[in-house]
Structure 1
Amino acid sequence: MRTAFTELVGVRHPIVQTGMGWVAGPRLVSATARAGALGILASATMTTERLRAAVREVKSRTDEPFGVNLRADAGDARERVRIIIDEGVAVASFALAPSKELITELKDAGVVVIPSIGARRHAEKVAAWGADAVIVQGGEGGGHTGEVATTVLLPQVVDAVDIPVVAAGGFHDGRGLVAALAYGAAGIAMGTRFLLTSDSTVPDAVKARYLAAGVKDVTVTTAVDGLPHRMLRTEMVAALEHAGRARALAQAVRRAAGFRRTFGIGWSRMVRDGLAMKHGKDLSWSQVLLAANTPMLLKASMVDGRTDLGVMASGQVAGLIEDLPSCAELVERVMAQAHAALGALPPARGAPGGGTGQRRGGGDDARRV
């Protein structure tokens, strides 16, 4: 299934595995790439040394293209960009809108730049700055998310920009891929669905919590870092939501100390990062500290298996997922479902010779396939 996205990044299928912290490591990314989709390494939870090693590990496992996700507001963002360029990574993905200068630096080196955005105006901004494509996440998506549903946000963005749009938030199967294509997207991005594969390194007990969750067990809370964060409803989330300011601050300081030890970051840098995050936002200092070390809350669950001490970012689709296929099985299944869904559509009125009426070719039309 050729689309403008597959042509842009050189993958066989219009599917992206998102850069989930502590989840999207070399094993998952290389398995996704071998399956013909675009795997994206999550670098925000890696030191720069670990990032370089992870990139080389993926390249030792596959010759297929893959990407690296990074935070544009990180103090060492330019160093991470340099690693992406030096190591010949095909795609740079950003959790926040990168600056025009970063986009230019990457594009001049031949790297495809695909920021993730959650609003039409952000898509317009990065498109004007030269981004090659955008991933647009609706409110159904896991982690930090917005209030606008994918079915409303996606067509807004498709109509606003002239670059390939990849839809995220609420996707887990081939029917969703066909729906996204019908809206004008050039592919879909999935996080929770790839987290729940046999290639994911997330502990089995944590995967079991996801599989047992219903749609109503996925909630949005601001208690973690003051920003809307979609995750599984757990005892830990409830404790954060009901903790008083003093208790929340004590918990935040304790976890910040752990974050500092793990990443070798000094308190002064954490304070600077906290001030940057607090700027323009109504955050308490406990929320600022939690925002600075949210990666440790995710690590507790995604790496250590301590769901009682950590949080589990999750899209609403967790309530629909029931199994743990390999990445290869998942991608093959999604594509088979998509082709079946296309074949089951009634003929478009007036379409000669019947058929689905869907545009499925490449070339100039592929961007809107």
Structure 2
Amino acid sequence: METALTRLVGVRHPLVQTGMGWVAGPRLVSAAANAGALGILASATMTPARLRAAIREVRSRTSAPFGVNLRADAGDADERVRIIVEEEVRVASFALAPSKELIGRLRDAGVVVIPSVGARRHAEKVADWGADAVIVQGGEGGGHTGEVATSVLLPQVVDAVDIPVVAAGGFHDGRGLVAALAYGAAGMAMGTRFLLTSDSTVPDAVKARYLAATVKDVTVTTAVDGLPHRMLRTALVESLERAGRGRALLRAVRSAAGFRRLSGLTWSRMVRDGLAMRHGKGMTWSQTLLAANTPMLLKSAMVDGRTDLGVMAAGQVAGVIEDLPSCAELVERVMAEAREVLGTLPDLGGRATG
């Protein structure tokens, strides 16, 4: 199924595995790439040295194109971009809009730039700055999310920009791919669906919690870092929502110290990143400090398997996913379903009736 996305990045299928922190490591990314999708490596929780090693590990596992996701506002963003360029990574993906200069630097080096956005105005901005494509996530998506549903946001963005648009938020099967294409998208991105595969390194006990969840078990809370965050509702989330500001800040300080040790960042670098995070968001210092919760609370679940101590970012589709296929099985299934759905659609352009 050839689309503007497959032609742009050189993959076989118009599917994207998103760059989920602690989840989208070399094993999952290479499995998605070998299956014909665009696998995206999550780098925000890696040191620069680990990022370079992870890129080389992915390349040792696959000859297919893949991407790297990074934070445009991170203090070491320039160093990470240099690594992407030096390692000849095909795609650079961003959770926050990169600057015009950063986009130009990547494009000059032959890297395809695909930012992720949650609003039409952000898509228009990065398109004007030279982005090659854009991933648009509606409110159904997991992790930090917005309020506008994909069914409303996606056609808005498709109408507003002249670059390929990839639909994200609420997708998990071939019917979703057909729907995204009908809206005018060039492909479909999935996070939770790829998280729940046998190639994902997320501990089995955590996957079991996802599989047991219903749609009503997926909630949006601001208790973790002060920003809307879609995740599974657990006893920990409820505890965070009940906690006073003092307890929450104490937890955030401990999390910040843990993340500093793990990431190798200095306190001064973390402060600069915090300033960048506040810029344009109207966040208070307490909210910025609370944001330190996110990486470590996600790690507790996604790496350590401690569902009692960690949070589990989840799209609403977690409530309808019931199995753990391999990436190859998942991609093959999605594409077969899409072809089947396309074959059953009525020929609306045919002869008039009545």
* Alignment match, 1:298: 298
8 Å contact 2:231–2:312 — kept in the other structure? yes
Is 1:122 matched up with 2:122?
Answer: yes
CA distance in 2, matches of 1:272, 1:244: 27
> Where does 1:5-154 land on structure 2 (aligned, <5 Å)?
5-154=5-154
**Partner amino acid for 1:330?**
L
> Where does 1:329-344 land on structure 2 (aligned, <5 Å)?
329-344=329-344
Give the C-alpha shift of residue 245 in structure 1.
Answer: 1.2
CA distance in 2, matches of 1:287, 1:201: 30
**Partner amino acid for 2:244?**
G
Give the C-alpha shift of residue 292 in structure 1.
Answer: 3.0
Q: Percent identity?
A: 84
**Partner amino acid for 2:248?**
A
**Partner amino acid for 1:175?**
R
CA distance in 1, matches of 2:225, 2:279: 14
8 Å contact 2:74–2:276 — kept in the other structure? no
8 Å contact 2:26–2:58 — kept in the other structure? yes
> Where does 1:318-329 land on structure 2 (aligned, <5 Å)?
318-329=318-329
* Alignment match, 1:350: 350
Is 1:266 matched up with 2:288?
Answer: no
CA distance in 2, matches of 1:236, 1:293: 13
CA distance in 1, matches of 2:261, 2:126: 35
Q: Which string of whole-angstrom CA distances, capped at 9 and with x for unpartnered residues, describes residues 166-214 of structure 1? A: 0000000000000000000000000000000000000000000000000
8 Å contact 1:274–1:292 — kept in the other structure? no
Unaligned runs of 5+ in 2: none
Give the C-alpha shift of residue 264 in structure 1.
Answer: 2.3
CA distance in 2, matches of 1:324, 1:228: 28
8 Å contact 2:253–2:292 — kept in the other structure? no
CA distance in 2, matches of 1:351, 1:132: 39
Aligned residue for 2:68, secondary structure, equals: strand
Aligned residue for 1:255, secondary structure, equals: helix
Give the C-alpha shift of residue 282 in structure 1.
Answer: 5.2
Change in 2 beyond 3 A, CA 1:67/1:351 = farther
* Alignment match, 2:192: 192
8 Å contact 2:5–2:14 — kept in the other structure? yes
- 277-286 vs 181-190, greater mean Cα deviation: 277-286
8 Å contact 1:164–1:185 — kept in the other structure? yes
The CA RMSD over aligned residues, in Å, is 1.3
**Partner amino acid for 2:84?**
I
Runs of 4+ off more than 6 Å: none
Aligned residue for 1:257, secondary structure, equals: helix
CA distance in 2, matches of 1:131, 1:283: 27
8 Å contact 1:142–1:231 — kept in the other structure? yes
* Alignment match, 2:155: 155
Aligned residue for 2:114, secondary structure, equals: strand
CA distance in 1, matches of 2:281, 2:172: 33
Aligned residue for 1:241, secondary structure, equals: helix
Aligned residue for 1:189, secondary structure, equals: strand
Unaligned runs of 5+ in 1: 353-369
Give the C-alpha shift of residue 251 in structure 1.
Answer: 1.1
| TM-score using structure 1 length | 0.93
8 Å contact 1:248–1:286 — kept in the other structure? no
**Partner amino acid for 2:348?**
A
CA distance in 1, matches of 2:318, 2:118: 20
CA distance in 2, matches of 1:351, 1:244: 65
CA distance in 1, matches of 2:164, 2:279: 32
**Partner amino acid for 2:112?**
V
Change in 2 beyond 3 A, CA 1:337/1:52 = same
8 Å contact 1:174–1:336 — kept in the other structure? yes
Aligned residue for 2:291, secondary structure, equals: helix
**Partner amino acid for 2:259?**
F
Q: How many residues get paired?
A: 352
